[in-house]
Structure 1
Amino acid sequence: MALTAFAINCTLTPSPDESSCERLIAETLAELERHGVTGEQVRAVDYNIKPGVTSDEGEGDDWPQLRQKILDADIFILGSPVWLGHHSSLCQRVLERLDAFLGETDDQGRLVSYGTVAGVVVVGNEDGAHHIIAELFQGLNDVGFTIPANASTYWVGEAMQSTDFKDLDQTPEMIQTATAGLARNCVHLAKLLKQTPYPNQES
């Protein structure tokens, strides 16, 4: 069964500069590829995502094209750096635009995001990963995404230091294990939902 994944990296660093979040998302997509999933990663900062809570905020808004990529994918990966213990402002902007899904349904009366599995990637050199994952999981679930078991991977560096994930010579074994689990469980659930979609909400 062919599956696809789409990842939004909410780093504040524009392309082509290095991004720690990009590296861990890339490793996540590589694990998904081991299960036959074709993936793509983009940086939110490279697009004009206008403020708002609709699916199209008018002229110059790049969100509609990103929204379509999310809906076309079987697996959606949302990645954020840690800033002052919280997810980035760009990640919050993405969540606000996803809020529009609450008012959009398919021909079966289901939210348009039903059937799409979501996972979370967090990277930083300060505390906050568990807090961010909890907030992103709740937000994604609220707007209709399905969250598998252990659908997150994260790295945070030692306190009070400046080493970034992108600077590591090798990804720690525990992070590799978490990333592999995220990919494995996302693929498993995406296949199940593709075979047996959520029921008609009007029945």
Structure 2
Amino acid sequence: MPLTAFALNCTLKIPRDDDESSTDRMLAELTNALAAHDVGCETARALAHNIKPGVLSDLGEADDWPKLREKILAADIFILGLPIWMGQPSSVAKRVMERMDAFLSETDDSGRMPAAGKVALVAIVGNEDGAHHCHAECYQALNDVGFTVPANGGVYWVGEAMGDV
């Protein structure tokens, strides 16, 4: 059975039909590389969904997190894509990780956290020192909620936003 990946773009840009972000470009590079190895990839932009603040998997009416959570857990590989703002992961990425906190108190049929057996990648747009810092923050959180973090799995884009290099 082929592997699948789900990428969640945590850019701060409000989604519009013709509005590509640097994080979109970074995720496209990564998902194209995975697709070359027959990994089926899907990408969604977090701001296109109503992700309520909180630490539960379902916060009721008008909370879109349960649908995104389902896609994250259905994939073999979860990719968290984000820009750096003021030396930190974007607030959107932090909200996504906060919602994953619910995994700590949830178990699957084998008694494991829902993300057990799944790999997490983090794709960052920003400066090198900031990228290392943000990878540390994100990978610690993702590992805490059950994802496997691959060695040297942090990818980042250093340079001018939307640049060619």
TM-score tier (shorter): over 0.9
Residue 14 of structure 1 corresponds to 14
Counterpart of 1:120 in structure 2 is 122
1:125 positional shift: 5.4
**Larger Rg: 1 or 2?**
1
**CA-to-partner distance for each residue in 1:74-93, whole Å, 9 max, x for gaps?**
00000110100001111000
- Which residue identity lines up with residue 126 of structure 2 in the other structure? G
Contact 1:81 1:87 in 2 (8 A): yes
Give the Cα–Cα distance (whole angstroms) in 1 for the partners of residues 79 and 153 of structure 2: 9
Report the TM-score, using the length of structure 2 for normalisation.
0.95
| Contact 1:48–1:62, Cα closer than 8 Å, also in 2 | yes
* Amino acid of the structure 1 residue aligned with 2:61: E
Structure 1 portions without partners, runs of 5+: 158-162, 172-203
> For 2:56, which of 35, 54, 57 is the aligned residue?
54
Larger helix proportion, structure 1 or 2?
1
Cα displacement string for residues 70-127 of structure 1 (whole angstroms, at most 9, x for unaligned residues): 0000000001101000011110000000000001101111111101100000002585
Match of 1:89 among 67, 71, 91: 91
Q: Which residue of 2 aligns with 1:101?
A: 103
**What is the TM-score when the length of structure 1 is the normalising length?**
0.78
RMSD, matched Cα: 1.2
Q: Contact 1:6 / 1:70 at 8 angstroms: preserved in 2?
A: yes
Is the Cα–Cα contact under 8 Å of residues 6 and 42 in structure 2 kept in the other structure?
yes
Equivalent of residue 43 in structure 1, options 27, 45, 48: 45
The total of aligned residue pairs comes to 163
1:136 alignment partner, one of 135, 138, 141 = 138
Between the aligned partners of 2:26 and 2:63, the Cα distance in structure 1 is: 28
Counterpart of 2:5 in structure 1 is 5
Shift of 1:156: 2.5
Same amino acid, percent of matched pairs: 61
**2:141, 2:11 → 1: CA distance?**
18
CA contact (8 A) 1:9 1:44 kept: yes
Query: Unaligned stretches of 5+ in structure 2?
Result: none
SS in 2 for 1:128: helix
